[in-house]
Amino acid sequence: MTLIKSISGIRGTIGGAVGHNLTPIDAVTFAAAYGTWIKEQRNKENYRVVVGRDARISGEMIQALVMQTLVGMGIHVIDLGLSTTPTVEIAVPMEHADGGIILTASHNPKQWNALKLLNAKGEFLNAEEGERILEIASGNSINFAEVDHLGKITRNDAYIDLHIDEVLKLKTVNTDDIKKAKFKVVVDGVNSTGGIAIPLLLERLGVEAVKLYCDPTGHFPHNPEPLKEHLTDLSQAVINHKADFGIVVDPDVDRLAFIDENGDMFGEEYTLVACADYVLGITPGNTVSNMSSTRALKDITEKHGGSYQASAVGEVNVVALMKQTNAVIGGEGNGGIIYPELHYGRDALVGVALFLSLLAEKQLSVSALKQSYPQYYMSKNKIELTEGLDVDGILEAIAEQYKTEDISTIDGVKINFENSWVHLRKSNTEPIIRIYTEAPSQQQADDLAEQIIAKIKAVANI
């Protein structure tokens, strides 16, 4: 059982001991620290925070604890109930709120939950802000409101529909052509809130949706990370229903992956590549992804006359570099689309709308679309960390072994070879080292990963 406190928020497994798991006491402490931080930002009479959750079994309990803690601090709460991460992000500025909290552990299994924290723009907190909340949580500076100044909770169930309205207002979303194309798709909502939001969006776009695991019970029917090995049911359903393609999202609907008409993975790395290809064809400009993402985005961006930059891993880092470079689209290779015309956050709903617009424009099958892009193959691996392991020392030793290559240490160690690369980094959310490799063939990517893993084990003596 685990509790991870970081600048990204607090994430842990439900049950167990205080300080070692995500218990009610830990949820209250962290919510109170966030409420204190909110009050530090502006001295005003009324504070408002938007709160929503994915469909995890523990979500209702954790949300009640968080909301009532904020009420106890004199902060008014807008309760979105079952929602998505991008929906909460959009709701914060629309409500003129001071911040937002999403109760979700993203792709982690059902025993996990977390508090994702937003600022008044509906964007994730930066490292400095996250550190301040950790500092408050570990101290004794939290003050609650007196009885006449308690906050109130207001329920608002309209925001998924409002989110869809905002997506459909975008000039780049070609609703008419999508409706004419008469697409048929299968949606795997992993029994979370994507099973609510994605079919509603597709209905508005005139797309026939076959629902698979769209009942938001929180009982995930498979590992909720949208990877090939977890999506055999979706692949088979696409074939059985003779669908044009399949859509899968993670539990909080900020990651998006597609299955082609043959039941094969389009590749979560290529979600951003395809959406960027479409957007850049209409509004040429720059792009950003994190340095664990495919080189194909760089190739597509340069083909459209733009410039590509790579950021450290983490949505907040991608967003910061997007703003700095005026990127027209960006995101992460895990299927996260960030489209600033809508908002600065990963958003599967806008990703679906842009992808459908691209297919309607090109009139290609999903498999043919994939073949039209530069072909790269990735291998994503991880090594579990044991207590007392000097991870920084291990990464430094690997960097030293490859010092004659093009190396970046902005975030862990990335080694760029002529036709391939490897990126090693500590996870912010799990006790692991991630090892990502990319090469012109799957065998080359796998071989490079095995080579690096062997070197790590030799250095670490494990």
As a whole number of angstroms, the distance between CA 275 and CA 294 comes to: 14
Euclidean distance between the first and final Cα of the chain, in Å?
23
Helix ranges (DSSP H) in 42-172: 59-72, 85-94, 127-138, 159-169
Write the DSSP assignment of 376-432 as a string of letters. -EEEEEEEEPPTT--HHHHHHHHHHHTTTSEEE-SSSEEEE-SS-EEEEEE-SSSSE
As a whole number of angstroms, the distance between CA 437 and CA 430 comes to: 19
As a whole number of angstroms, the distance between CA 12 and CA 112 comes to: 5
Q: Are 347 and 197 in contact (CB under 8 A)?
A: no
Name the active-site residue from 8, 58, 83, 106: 106
Compute how many other C-beta atoms are within 10 angstroms of the C-beta atom of residue 5.
18
Phi/psi at 68 (nearest 5 deg)? -70, -30
Strands 308-311 and 9-13: unpaired
Q: Are 211 and 199 in contact (CB under 8 A)?
A: yes
Active site (annotated) includes residue 441: no
As a whole number of angstroms, the distance between CA 10 and CA 31 comes to: 10
As a whole number of angstroms, the distance between CA 319 and CA 395 comes to: 26
Here the tokens at position 297 are: 């985005």
Q: State the Cα angle at 109 between 227 and 384, rounded to 5°.
A: 80
What torsion do the CA atoms of 20, 21, 26, 30 make, to the nearest 10 degrees?
100
Three-class SS of residue 202?
Answer: helix
As a whole number of angstroms, the distance between CA 1 and CA 385 comes to: 14
Q: Which amino acid makes up residue 316?
A: V
Q: Which residues are identified as catalytic?
A: 106
